[in-house]
Amino acid sequence: MKDHRPPVFCLIGPTASGKTGVAVELVQQAPLEIISVDSAQVYRGLDIGAGKPSADTLERAPHRLIDIRDPLDAYSAADFRNDALNEIADIQSKGKTPLLVGGTMLYFKALRDGMAEMPGCE
């Protein structure tokens, strides 16, 4: 069975491995938009140790899903999956290709495989 969904590219690796530099170069050369796949970068103010791109880098190559939550707010893999799927759809609706960049493997897995149904609390 052939998959007819539009492509989504993934650039995966640990912090400080050069992913952001490669992603910025790719965005300059192709119709791509970056979605961050990083569990620390979603939080505003957690800039030290999170490997967030600089303001200059973000101006040249905006990254979605960076600085979207307050550090006191919970953010789960399920939240990421929902947010990423919305961002992917938005990027594809503009005729571009999403480039998912990061190192939070649980987020990549949640996006690829979905989430298990959990019983509700009463």
pLDDT of residue 116: 84
What are the backbone dihedrals phi and psi of residue 56, each rounded to the nearest 5 degrees, phi first? -60, -45
What is residue 61's DSSP assignment? S
76 C-beta neighbours (distance < 10 Å), count: 13
Q: Per the structure block, which two tokens stand in for 116?
A: 């298990």
CATH number attached to the domain at 9-100: 3.40.50.300
- Write out pLDDT tens, residues 46-66: 877 778 899 999 999 999 999
What is the dihedral angle through the alpha carbons of 12, 51, 98, 60, rounded to the nearest 10 degrees? -140
pLDDT band (50, 70, 90) for residue 117 = confident
Antiparallel, parallel or unpaired: β 63-64 and 32-37: parallel
Give, in order, the Cα–Cα distances in Å from 2 to each of 42, 62, 92: 34, 32, 19
Query: For the chain, how many residues are written?
Result: 122
The DSSP secondary structure of 51-86, one letter per residue, reads TPPPHHHHHHS-EETSS-B-TTS---HHHHHHHHHH
The Cα 45–Cα 66 span in angstroms is 10
pLDDT of residue 1: 63
Please determine, for residue 122, whether its predicted confidence score (pLDDT) is greater than 70: no
pLDDT band (50, 70, 90) for residue 77 = very high
- Write out pLDDT tens, residues 1-24: 666 778 899 999 988 899 999 999
Q: Determine the average pLDDT of the residues in 81-86.
A: 97
What is residue 1's DSSP assignment? -
> Between 5 and 104, where is the model more confident?
104
